Structure 1
Amino acid sequence: QSMNLNTDQRLISQVAYSKALRSQLPPEAFTPDLSKLFILVINLGILILGWMIASYLDRWSNYLLWLYLPLTIIMGNSVIALLFSSHDLMHGSVIRNPKLAYVISFFGLTMLWMPPTLWKSVHNRVHHHQTNDLGDPDRNYLEKQSKTWGKWIHNLFVPSLEVNPFWLIVGMTSAWGVHNFRNLTSVLFFNSKSVDYVPAAFTISAKDRRAIAGEIFLMSVIHLAILVYLEFDPLKLILSYFLPIAIGNAGLMFYIYTNHLLCPMTDVNDPLVNSTSLRVHKFFDLLHLNFSHHTEHHIFPGMNSDYYVQVRELLESNYADKFNLLDAQEAWKLLMQSPRHYKDENTLTDWSGKIMIPCPLNQKVKI
């Protein structure tokens, strides 16, 4: 039976939503979808093809080099698609064999410099179970947290009312790498919850620690092999390696910045309060596996993402007053009009602590 919270704004757990909605969805929404595996392989193929063509760029006339730029953009989108298809794979919605999923996800995440064992820990285990609370590594920093290098870069790069346009551009193309570097060094070098340069430190087992170290080493070897194949040629590297990664990172961060940073912190994992979904053109939903349906994903992490459209319809019918659903442009506008540090659960403040505004998507909820 579906709950209608239009007149009841209490915090409700993710489990309660999934129980209320699952019976209204077809069984095939929860069966593995191999098409995402083909999408992952196709986008790996696009990158490999791009590097093969780039290996001949030194033979092209300077007047014809611009013809490679469309492929640069397509390769950038492939970086985005590789993360989102690997994301679905790691949540178990593509294939059920965990060992095979691990091997495939390693190649899918290599261009993102994201070891699959780290992703499973930081995203599946921690972020999804502690979304936007004190233990979430993906939340805004707290004002009271020390002004470490991690917090300083976050303040410098992330869209906000005080961000410098130049650093915003730098951040869009590199903040994904900063996120990885913070969490990677936190668990590999310290593996302690006392680490203060991440928004929220977490720990992993010794086995996972060894696996992450091995995975990042192998990823480094693959990236080095790509650079060697491209002969360390600056033109080849810029057009087929650095620019596609930068474009891919910018596309990823556009989605990721809106996922939770506009929302209040919650001690109950209520996806309708602590997460945000976007309205984007259907073409982008097709390319990016409905990643704009982020609240929907947090309710059903292991669902075939094709069915998030149906979940959205149910949320709009049953939880219209509580569901954070924004046009992409509006979400970006709100990011640029608000600071990026939590004064408290429902209030954002700037680096200096002088500006304070309610979280743009704050709900008047009863705990």
Structure 2
Amino acid sequence: LFRSIDSGRFYQEIPLFEKEWQQYTGAEFVKAHMNGTSAITSMYFALDLPPGSEVMVPSYTFFSPCLALRFFGLVPIFIDIDPKTATFDLEDAKRKLTPRTKAVEVMHSWGMPCDMDAISAWAREKGLILLEDAAHAHGASMHGRKMGTFGDMAIYSYQLSKVMPSVEGGMGMYKTREFYERAAAFGHYEDPGKFPADSPVRAYEGTGFGQKYRMHPMAAAIARVQLRSLDERNAVARKNVKALNARLTQLEGVTEPRLLPGQERAYYSGNMLLIDFAKAGAPREAILKALKAEGVDASFWDYPEQHKLKIYSEAKWWHHPPVIPASMPGNAWVNANHLFVRCQYGEAPDLIEQYARAFEKVWAHRRELA
């Protein structure tokens, strides 16, 4: 970081990071943005869809994948998650397809890859543009392909809590030159003049389309360093989780999100356990309190379900009112039946053993907690 400042070429950190990220993921085109939300907003601008078009999005997500649609006259269709994986429920999407549906966006929740084979095939069959929100999934892959390379466009976030943090930052990934140029031009006024003469957005040199989404070069410098150790840190985390979960999934009601053959996940926010607390025989709050008393760094965090939030039910914000689902059972079950255990990114065999024994002790006495 200090070398880049002293060199007088501080802004070169951004294209250097873009090049390294492109090489790491194998993406056709990439563009750094100031955060994941700006990358998503630029991606929606790049869609260039007519107002009133509908985009399938998970309700179990951050606000920006849903709310940023409104800036371009687009309307969300809220899709449930599969309670076995906490990721996009393709069967629910099939039920909710409408003639106005033009795109589908999936989120790799907590670093869990969606079933991109099935989703990609369905999107192609229906003529839908496929988008990936990989904000949680740094280093995750399927069949050796990094998440973000299956869709027509994708985004990553490097916010401080992420697997690969740079304090703030985002990245867009694009399959075609057209998507790349539109997304880049939206928030990067200096880019259109660099595009080929036949680019439809070259004429907007010096203005772009009114936003400034440049990644801070300090964030790019931090991200470059983080990228160097990403695979190593992920490998250690997977090893630790595998060792711990081999013990924990022997306990009544405890499972982990299901991985498909060929999938490798990342661990954003920790090791997510899916726990059927009714089957376990004790309430979540009591189990969590007991685990913490045994020294386990555990927590739960119920993802806000976007379809329940006020702004989606107010027609004045939308081209036409989004359909608000009466229920989303996958969302509800995962929110009510999970715990996060802090993920260890260094070798920690003693701590893994302590955590396993703590869980086993709590489960042995769980009936006393009810």
Which is bigger in relative contact order (C-alpha 8 A, separation at least 6)? 1
Same fold (TM over 0.5): no
Which TM-score applies when normalising by structure 1?
0.28
Which structure is higher in strand share?
A: 2
Which structure is higher in helix share?
A: 1
